[in-house]
């Protein structure tokens, strides 16, 4: 299965150009879409799930235009929107059962079995009889994840899925997606939280102000930051100078001053060592340093 995005533009009535000539491809596995708030991620997600028609451009699923085959696409789609809502009068299991019906699961016995399996998978089995509106914020988000997965969809689109989740819940969610990505499905994960993009993503893209600024593997993004991330041991006076001239990633107080991580194209003139970047370091280097340097040239 393959999704192709060609020349996609989204211009809102107020003139906001949310997406600018986006070209992307997704294939089986997990794909991460990363960018700051306002980058255009949610607009792209809404187009992919046919909730919004693009101003121009086309999206193809296995060669079929999604705007012309909306019913067929929706039958294979699981979607968790950023502003997930549910029927508050329903119990947790009832809401998920209803979602299964909408997903085309006609056999009630099989559907109820799948409901309990998914509730167990996302850690909500013990509260299956609680009304959905009485769940905690994190539990509501997990219920949203479960409804996106019911019916064994072939395409799973999740928009800012870890918003409101604590660290343990975020890890649980990433593990669920990682397990699913081993099967014949396409998972598109949109987020502004860099840590949500893991090594399990076969590919990733960075959006910034509606434009695609990077497309490739997480490993390739990290490679671009190699040799550009430094750890510095600084006095308080040196620290003030560093803050003015470098992109600071992290700051830790030490006995005689500060231990600081920065990104830079040149070796800094302080007591510093090169360190191996992770995905968060690479994101800062690319978005806040390399990209800004390219724009100013």
pLDDT tens digits, 216-231: 999 999 999 999 999 9
Residue 292 has pLDDT above 70, yes or no: no
Token pair listed for 260 = 């600081």
80 has pLDDT over 60: yes
| Residue 89 scores a pLDDT above 90 | no
pLDDT class for 87, splitting at 50, 70, 90? low
Residue ranges of the domains in the chain?
2-76+154-216, 223-296
Q: Where are the beta strands (DSSP E) in 192-236?
A: 201-208, 211-216, 229-234
CATH architecture of 2-76+154-216: 3-Layer(aba) Sandwich (3.40)
Name the band, by pLDDT with cuts 50, 70 and 90, for residue 204: very high
pLDDT, one tens digit per residue, over 109-125 is: 999 999 999 999 888 99
Q: Looking at residue 33, what is its pLDDT? A: 92
> 10 Å Cβ neighbour count for 120?
13
Distance in angstroms (rounded) separating the CA atoms of residues 165 and 160: 11
Phi-psi region of 209 (alpha: psi -120 to 50; beta: other; left: phi over 0): left
* CA–CA distance, 252 with 254 (Å, rounded to integer): 6
Token pair 């086309």 is found at 58
Q: What is the per-residue pLDDT for 91?
A: 93
272, pLDDT greater than 50? yes
pTM comes to 0.84
Confidence grade of residue 184 (pLDDT, cut at 50, 70, 90): confident
Q: Sign of torsion, CA 91 97 100 102?
A: negative
Q: Report the C-alpha dihedral over residues 230, 233, 238, 242, rounded to 10 degrees.
A: 20
Averaged pLDDT of the chain: 87
Q: Sorting pLDDT into bands at 50, 70 and 90, what band is 199? A: low
Give the three-state DSSP class for 44: helix
pLDDT in tens, 240-250: 888 888 888 88
Q: Are the C-beta atoms of 142 and 166 separated by less than 8 Å?
A: no
Positive or negative, the CA dihedral 200, 204, 208, 209 is negative
Grouping H, G, I as helix, E, B as strand and the rest as coil, residue 160 is coil
């Amino acid at each position: 299965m393959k999704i192709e995005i060609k020349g996609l533009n989204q211009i809102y009535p107020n003139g906001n150009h949310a997406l600018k000539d986006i070209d992307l491809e997704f294939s089986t596995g997990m794909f991460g879409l990363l960018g700051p708030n306002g980058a255009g991620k949610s607009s792209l997600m809404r187009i992919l799930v046919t909730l919004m028609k693009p101003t121009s451009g086309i999206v193809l699923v296995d060669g079929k235009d999604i705007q012309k085959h909306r019913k067929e696409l929706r039958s294979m789609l699981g979607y968790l929107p950023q502003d997930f809502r549910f029927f508050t009068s329903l119990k947790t299991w009832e809401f998920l059962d209803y979602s299964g019906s909408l997903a085309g699961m006609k056999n009630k016995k099989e559907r109820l079995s799948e409901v309990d399996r998914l509730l167990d998978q996302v850690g909500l089995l013990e509260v299956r009889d609680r009304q959905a509106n009485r769940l905690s914020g994190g539990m509501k988000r997990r219920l949203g994840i479960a409804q996106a997965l019911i019916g064994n969809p072939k395409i799973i689109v999740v928009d800012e899925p870890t918003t409101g989740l604590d660290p343990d819940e975020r890890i649980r969610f990433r593990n669920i997606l990682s397990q699913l990505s081993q099967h014949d499905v396409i998972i598109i994960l949109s987020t502004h939280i860099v840590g949500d993009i893991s090594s399990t993503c076969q590919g990733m893209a960075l959006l910034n102000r509606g434009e695609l600024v990077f497309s490739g593997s997480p490993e390739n993004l990290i490679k671009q930051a190699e040799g550009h991330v430094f750890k510095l041991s600084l006095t308080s006076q040196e620290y003030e100078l560093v803050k003015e001239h470098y992109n600071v990633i992290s700051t830790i107080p030490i006995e005689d001053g500060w231990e600081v991580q920065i990104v830079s194209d040149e070796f800094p003139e302080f007591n510093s060592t090169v360190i191996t970047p992770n995905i968060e370091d690479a994101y800062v280097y690319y978005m806040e340093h390399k990209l800004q340097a390219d724009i100013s040239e």
